[in-house]
Chains A and B, each alone.
Chain A
Amino acid sequence: MDTSAFNSVWWIFALPVFGFLWQCLAGKIVIDNLGDKLGKRIMGASAVLPIAAAFFIAVDLTGKLHSMPAESRSVVLTLFDWINIQSLHVPFEFRVDALSMMMVLIITGIGSLIHLYATGYMAEEKDYPRFFTYLNLFVAAMLVLVLGNNLVLTFIGWEGVGLCSYLLIGFWYKDVANSKAANKAFIVNRIGDFGFTIGMFLLIAQVTLDRNIIGITDPRWLSFDVLLPHADVLFKINPEITTMAALALFVGAMGKSAQFPLYLWLPDAMAGPTPVSALIHAATMVTSGVFLLNRMSPVFAAAPQAGAVIAIIGAATSLLGALIAFGQTDIKKVLAFSTVSQLGYMFIGCGVGAYWAGMFHVTTHAFFKALLFLGAGAVIHAMAHDQDMRNYGGLWKFLKITGATMLVGWAAIAGFPYLSGFFSKEEILGAAVNSDTVLHLGGYMWSTGQVAGWIGFVVAFLTAAYMTRMTLLTFFSGEGRWKTIAAGHGHDHDHEHGHHDAHAHAHHHEDPHGFFYSDAEMHARAVAEPHEHHHALDSHHVPKEVPPSMWMPLAVLAVLSLVGGAWLKYGVNLEHWLYPGAEAAEHAERVSHPMLLGISFTVFLAGVGFGFWKYAKGLPADEGWDLSLWKRWRTSAGRQFGIDAALTDGSLKGGAMLGAFLAGIDKWLIDGVVNASGRVAELAGGLLSRTQRGYVRGYALLMQAGVVALIFYVIYQLSHLGAGN
């Protein structure tokens, strides 16, 4: 097949790489030489443009793909031969198909919007090029992850995005809390990566063992286009091993996509700048687990037990995230737990076999969650980097554009009928409650798929409620509460939860770390740009609408959140686009379509109604500044029900104990054996050297004894073997 038409896919990958190199090599020079304002403008533009260009190339490629017949919509392009050992070739190759292009469009499309937004959001940042260096590198790594045509390349991208995530969470690394958050993210992700590698090696082991049975002769057998068509036979030879491999890969996905219990790192990851939260920790990287499940869907399809586990873990994660969100006062934390909860949805979809629905939700979630994060970022920006919703209220008056777009986001995530979130959620839950995914455990069959579906509806109610809470507390419900800060409950907030954004923190106090401009530098900038003036949030604060570079992405995302779902479902026919030929497998519906619609409406209305009933009048006293008035369950939710502390402390203390135990073994047993062997050798040497007294007659006697021994040995051999020959 002629693949030359798709060669431009290399540009999609190369442009962010060039951007990365340009930012890291030239960034500081440009800004130092051209002045702060012009330099930043140039660097900002040169950070956005490669991603935007990549997006347009991706659109073009998707068009080409669309014009091809459905069954041949998969193109493999090889750049060079990477690993080449006798029976295994792993080339550096990209795969252009519906799934990968969908992810590419999300990454580059939403990525370019967020880059644009970040040029405004990070304008006061000294390390401006460093930020875009990481961000461009992240895009490049993410593209390798989704475009790679074999698990090894996917793993490279997987590690690359993990690295960038670590670097960006710890972007303000001089604050120890941020560094700790970055470490936490990295370490928790290592656990997942370990699972990924185990799964990968289990698959490789299976292929190498059974390759000949199947008859795969192509040495590129790690490549998806060679491996996956054989999956339905190959991975059913040893179903137990396949299940183990699938679960191991799911552990990898759990790490990246923040599933229980590896979700711990995602809330802490909010320590990074808000555009990072929007791009990496909401729209793209955290969905790579879902992407992996889709990519490897033939493997998971061969392991239905693994699917059942995935569905129930997804449901548990989704319920947990939604409950915890009620206890959060930090606007970004609410969104973070909402992300955890929504990711749970995606895994419910994948677990019950509706992989395309998972991807559908990935896409719509990318729209509305990026929108919500960016909107939250705009609010934070306007509120002098304060993130506590208790200090907001009545912002609608000041932030009309932000408010309007945020309302769209709220409607989309809460499941307002016929907006994007509504469709994808309904597809997932419909598939779940109609599924026959069962888990065989302890001699019983557990219908985890259906259970997950019904939990999903509960979570939909909770989602509508807590999103209403967030929206009302921020934009409506009374006058601005920051005006009462002087009254005495402003600054002591959230210390125990560690909800500080370092950004905000730095502006409350003197900036001790040098990430931001000093007073003298600020003064110089104020002369150049008189309207850019920052001060801490106080009772005289007047929120101001954000600049166009920040609200324009919001507008675009708002439009996508409004119509994206409908367009994907009816315009694109996503299920057919992603999995052509899969619709044939219809199964009996337990819960009919209209019934589902009814439930969805009801749940939405109930959730929103509850939210209005509770928060329309303003901040309830039982979740105000005085924590002693909080209800117990809410305090507990604020602390993540102690799960985070238990797991973290448990693993730290357990690790320390294990380390001490192993150190003891090392010291007493291993060292003991080593030292003892040395001693024994020396002792033996000493004893043997005793035989050497220095007397010639002794030496001669030993020689004679040796001769006699040899002769006797010979006699034995002669009598034993006889004359040979």
Chain B
Amino acid sequence: MSASEIGFLALALLAVIGAAGVVLIDNPVRSALCLVLNFFVLGFIYFTLGAPMIGITQIMVYAGAIMVLFLFVIMMLKRQGAMAKPDKPDSRLGLAVVLGLALAVTVYATVIAPQGVTLPLGIKDYGTPQAVGVSLFTNFVWPFEVVSVLLLVGIVGSIMLAKRRI
């Protein structure tokens, strides 16, 4: 096992811990902070995979801007500690866990294991800002434009849901 693989596994473990924390911790602030951890680690993983542009974007936009907004809203709502918990633990939670694990194990055993776990070789200039920029303005210009409609929908939709109390 090479050093880079060890590094990847360590980061991945951190990311999973962060994600699990988001779901499992009841306190919203702590939960949000776990999400920050997850986003950060994801950004690092992108770096190690040779995609610096995505990594930078991940840290700036998600771990930075979006998480600030999240925490802001959470603070504003003053609902810490008042998160509703189910009255009793749902008996089917175990089933869900088993199914999830089954899915993970299966995918690993069937898809990943036969091909061997390999990290991508760093392709030159694969994830640089220039390369991403060129991609966005050549082959991927249309999805890039169409996503603007998606954003518009998100904005207008949230305003419509929020603006009037009837």
Query: Is chain B in direct contact with chain A in the complex (CB below 8 A)?
Result: yes
Assess whether A547 is interfacial by the CB under 8 Å rule: no
Assess whether B107 is interfacial by the CB under 8 Å rule: yes
Q: Which of A669-725 contact B (CB under 8 A)?
A: 697-698, 700-701, 704-705, 707-708, 711-712, 715, 718
B99 touches A715 (CB 8 A): no
**Which residue of chain A has its CB nearest to the CB of B96?**
A701
- 26 residue pairs from A and B, CB less than 8 Å apart: A697-B90, A697-B92, A697-B96, A698-B92, A700-B96, A701-B92, A701-B95, A701-B96, A701-B99, A704-B96, A704-B99, A704-B100, A704-B103, A705-B99, A707-B103, A708-B99, A708-B102, A708-B103, A708-B106, A711-B103, A711-B106, A711-B107, A712-B106, A715-B106, A715-B110, A718-B110
In angstroms, how far is the closest chain B Cβ from the Cβ of A282?
Answer: 90
How distant is the Cα of A708 from the Cα of B105 in the complex, in angstroms? Answer: 11
Could you say which residues of chain B place their CB within 8 Å of the CB of A698?
Answer: 92
Question: Main secondary structure on chain B at its contact with chain A?
Answer: helix
How distant is the Cα of A230 from the Cα of B96 in the complex, in angstroms? Answer: 79
**Which residue of chain A has its CB nearest to the CB of B86?**
A697
Could you say which residues of chain B place their CB within 8 Å of the CB of A707?
Answer: 103
In angstroms, how far is the closest chain A Cβ from the Cβ of B89?
Answer: 12
How distant is the Cα of A222 from the Cα of B103 in the complex, in angstroms? Answer: 70
**Which residue of chain B has its CB nearest to the CB of A698?**
B92
Could you say which residues of chain B place their CB within 8 Å of the CB of A718?
Answer: 110
Could you say which residues of chain A place their CB within 8 Å of the CB of B107?
Answer: 711
Could you say which residues of chain B place their CB within 8 Å of the CB of A701?
Answer: 92, 95-96, 99
Since A701-B95, A718-B110 are in contact, a sample of 12 more A-B pairs with Cβ atoms closer than 8 Å, ordered by chain A residue number, is A697-B90, A697-B96, A701-B99, A704-B99, A704-B103, A707-B103, A708-B99, A708-B102, A708-B106, A712-B106, A715-B106, A715-B110
Question: Main secondary structure on chain A at its contact with chain B?
Answer: helix
In angstroms, how far is the closest chain A Cβ from the Cβ of B113?
Answer: 13
Could you say which residues of chain B place their CB within 8 Å of the CB of A705?
Answer: 99
**Which residue of chain A has its CB nearest to the CB of B101?**
A708
How distant is the Cα of A704 from the Cα of B101 in the complex, in angstroms? Answer: 11
Could you say which residues of chain A place their CB within 8 Å of the CB of B99?
Answer: 701, 704-705, 708
Could you say which residues of chain A place their CB within 8 Å of the CB of B92?
Answer: 697-698, 701
Residues of A within 8 A of B (CB): 697-698, 700-701, 704-705, 707-708, 711-712, 715, 718
Interface residue count for B (Cβ, 8 Å)?
A: 11
**Which residue of chain A has its CB nearest to the CB of B107?**
A711
How distant is the Cα of A704 from the Cα of B102 in the complex, in angstroms? Answer: 10
How distant is the Cα of A705 from the Cα of B102 in the complex, in angstroms? Answer: 10
Could you say which residues of chain A place their CB within 8 Å of the CB of B90?
Answer: 697
How distant is the Cα of A701 from the Cα of B90 in the complex, in angstroms? Answer: 12
In angstroms, how far is the closest chain A Cβ from the Cβ of B51?
Answer: 28
Q: Which of B89-148 contact A (CB under 8 A)?
A: 90, 92, 95-96, 99-100, 102-103, 106-107, 110
Residues of B within 8 A of A (CB): 90, 92, 95-96, 99-100, 102-103, 106-107, 110
How distant is the Cα of A701 from the Cα of B103 in the complex, in angstroms? Answer: 13
In angstroms, how far is the closest chain A Cβ from the Cβ of B81?
Answer: 23
**Which residue of chain A has its CB nearest to the CB of B106?**
A711
**Which residue of chain B has its CB nearest to the CB of A705?**
B99
Could you say which residues of chain B place their CB within 8 Å of the CB of A704?
Answer: 96, 99-100, 103
How distant is the Cα of A708 from the Cα of B96 in the complex, in angstroms? Answer: 11
In angstroms, how far is the closest chain B Cβ from the Cβ of A300?
Answer: 77
Scoring A708, A715, A718 by chain B CB atoms within 10 A of each residue's CB, the highest score goes to A708
Could you say which residues of chain A place their CB within 8 Å of the CB of B106?
Answer: 708, 711-712, 715
Could you say which residues of chain B place their CB within 8 Å of the CB of A700?
Answer: 96
**Which residue of chain A has its CB nearest to the CB of B102?**
A708
**Which residue of chain A has its CB nearest to the CB of B92?**
A701
Scoring B95, B99, B100, B106 by chain A CB atoms within 10 A of each residue's CB, the highest score goes to B99
In angstroms, how far is the closest chain A Cβ from the Cβ of B83?
Answer: 16
Could you say which residues of chain A place their CB within 8 Å of the CB of B110?
Answer: 715, 718
In angstroms, how far is the closest chain A Cβ from the Cβ of B112?
Answer: 14
How distant is the Cα of A653 from the Cα of B90 in the complex, in angstroms? Answer: 70
**Which residue of chain A has its CB nearest to the CB of B100?**
A704
In angstroms, how far is the closest chain A Cβ from the Cβ of B94?
Answer: 11
Could you say which residues of chain A place their CB within 8 Å of the CB of B95?
Answer: 701
How distant is the Cα of A698 from the Cα of B100 in the complex, in angstroms? Answer: 14
How distant is the Cα of A705 from the Cα of B96 in the complex, in angstroms? Answer: 8
In angstroms, how far is the closest chain A Cβ from the Cβ of B73?
Answer: 22
How distant is the Cα of A718 from the Cα of B109 in the complex, in angstroms? Answer: 13
How distant is the Cα of A597 from the Cα of B107 in the complex, in angstroms? Answer: 107
How distant is the Cα of A698 from the Cα of B95 in the complex, in angstroms? Answer: 11
How distant is the Cα of A707 from the Cα of B107 in the complex, in angstroms? Answer: 12
Could you say which residues of chain B place their CB within 8 Å of the CB of A697?
Answer: 90, 92, 96
Closest 8 CB pairs of A and B: A704-B99, A708-B99, A701-B96, A708-B102, A711-B106, A708-B103, A701-B92, A715-B110
In angstroms, how far is the closest chain B Cβ from the Cβ of A492?
Answer: 95
In angstroms, how far is the closest chain A Cβ from the Cβ of B120?
Answer: 24
In angstroms, how far is the closest chain B Cβ from the Cβ of A480?
Answer: 109
Could you say which residues of chain B place their CB within 8 Å of the CB of A715?
Answer: 106, 110
In angstroms, how far is the closest chain A Cβ from the Cβ of B22?
Answer: 17
How distant is the Cα of A551 from the Cα of B1 in the complex, in angstroms? Answer: 130
**Which residue of chain B has its CB nearest to the CB of A718?**
B110
In angstroms, how far is the closest chain B Cβ from the Cβ of A161?
Answer: 79
In angstroms, how far is the closest chain A Cβ from the Cβ of B24?
Answer: 15
In angstroms, how far is the closest chain B Cβ from the Cβ of A701?
Answer: 5
How distant is the Cα of A697 from the Cα of B93 in the complex, in angstroms? Answer: 9
In angstroms, how far is the closest chain B Cβ from the Cβ of A718?
Answer: 7
How distant is the Cα of A698 from the Cα of B99 in the complex, in angstroms? Answer: 13
Could you say which residues of chain B place their CB within 8 Å of the CB of A711?
Answer: 103, 106-107
Could you say which residues of chain A place their CB within 8 Å of the CB of B102?
Answer: 708
How distant is the Cα of A697 from the Cα of B100 in the complex, in angstroms? Answer: 14
Could you say which residues of chain A place their CB within 8 Å of the CB of B100?
Answer: 704
Could you say which residues of chain A place their CB within 8 Å of the CB of B96?
Answer: 697, 700-701, 704
Could you say which residues of chain A place their CB within 8 Å of the CB of B103?
Answer: 704, 707-708, 711
How distant is the Cα of A718 from the Cα of B92 in the complex, in angstroms? Answer: 30
How distant is the Cα of A700 from the Cα of B110 in the complex, in angstroms? Answer: 24
How distant is the Cα of A707 from the Cα of B100 in the complex, in angstroms? Answer: 10
In angstroms, how far is the closest chain B Cβ from the Cβ of A361?
Answer: 92
In angstroms, how far is the closest chain A Cβ from the Cβ of B29?
Answer: 24
In angstroms, how far is the closest chain A Cβ from the Cβ of B90?
Answer: 7
How distant is the Cα of A708 from the Cα of B97 in the complex, in angstroms? Answer: 12
How distant is the Cα of A707 from the Cα of B104 in the complex, in angstroms? Answer: 12
In angstroms, how far is the closest chain B Cβ from the Cβ of A693?
Answer: 11
In angstroms, how far is the closest chain B Cβ from the Cβ of A698?
Answer: 7
How distant is the Cα of A684 from the Cα of B95 in the complex, in angstroms? Answer: 25
In angstroms, how far is the closest chain B Cβ from the Cβ of A464?
Answer: 102
Could you say which residues of chain B place their CB within 8 Å of the CB of A708?
Answer: 99, 102-103, 106
